[in-house]
Structure 1
């Protein structure tokens, strides 16, 4: 029979692996008697683990949620995953960097040497996206309030302040509280957003979480509406592209490039590339505007044949005039009249 300390760790590991454990099965897995299982369960309870017994034909035990956080048991893979997640917490914009660092230090102290070496060798550096305009931080209590409203399906009231004191717009005018049906809390590009149905505007809206000041109490419960397209990732991507939320670009065109398809496909994440010959391919690409699409296609150092639509051809013509004017204004260049 294993020593008591090792047996307790094995028992705790089993209890964390599944919800309900029949007592007889625990005794069989640990190669001990049911009476010893009962004694070991009592020892774990004394250490703070909320283990409850359930009755029934098999009778057994369940590791329940408690009011305090007892010592936790992780296997090697879980411990490493937790440490990596804590190291990358600084990139979430959730305002939990200091807490994550303290938690990582706590986890590291109780790790065996072999795991500490693995964690110390894996150093993750959070790179700020912009030194001029860094990603805004969101109070963790705001994220918890938004998440709770999404989970409870309760109408959320809040002040939304783009760059002003709470409840005041940029012109100093008092702003009304927003009333929304919150549906999803998402993160994109280092920022947190709330996807919700605006009850007053009767339309879908995406709100930056760092600009939300929740109000209490919450409103009534609601039945969730179906998100356009049915997928939150595509909806959010579409809205940021300027489309109706379907996930497609508002402007999409087709051209033929005098380049190999393999060379073009490496630089078109959302585009469709079709090989037409050894050094010729068809490209279907989207963008938020026609000039933006023409400029993106013009980045390929190759002759371009526009298949359509006419808006893309017109955008190329406008850019051509602008580029010609820019070249004519260069020092030492004589403008033609």
Structure 2
């Protein structure tokens, strides 16, 4: 009979996290304890916040159900490796929708992974070639997890940085937030060397490490890291205004475009209009508009109108049909 209560509780929790109902008798045999002990252990898990549901009957069963909060999970080796590999793949290529929360989760998981599992994760990662549409901004997940840990722990972060013109420098920063634009990761931080707020492209960062020195968070000028990044990018790049009408409701279009492109406004029940500015290449914006999956009309600028017209012609020809030009 098992007398190690903590170990037995972890084993019981691992069994209950399998999506099925466990008869009390089977749990008793698996754990090597009496059914009465199983009932007491279930009560202990409930006290810890795990929503264990019991069913009545000759051999009443137990199962873990959804509760009000997310309790800690117990993962076996295969599950831990699968989650770590998935998070590393997503984080390393700035997949849209995979934001700082996933990087924090990866940092927590890799912190407690045993050495043998770390080796398996690294081996799988090295043997996998992802199919992406990126522009060369793939980055090491370790860089992101180091930054995320420094942000969470409010530790000063030092790293080497390569600017857009190739200039090399070393920076000591107080990291504030990681921001994903869907194509790249950026670090928003207070740079102690420049005595001002800065944004850093993470794919240009190397040798990052947390110094262990704590700091009190400063107030970001804009109050929001994504907004600060947007303003910072526009200050550094030439921007242009664009105007597009979509033959779909605003909610439909907004769900299919990055939020930083702007918010579409309803025109009537079936259409909406997006007027905003961007520093992105018109070629990229044209492709992005085409992925909304509805008809649209570009009102300006002329470069975007021309690009959409050319893209429509190439797509039509590629599909074997006659070349056609969208309305300007």
The bucket for the TM-score relative to the shorter chain is 0.3 to 0.5
Structure of higher RCO (CA pairs closer than 8 Å, 6+ residues apart): 2
Q: What's the TM-score once normalised by structure 1's chain length?
A: 0.44
Q: What's the TM-score once normalised by structure 2's chain length?
A: 0.45
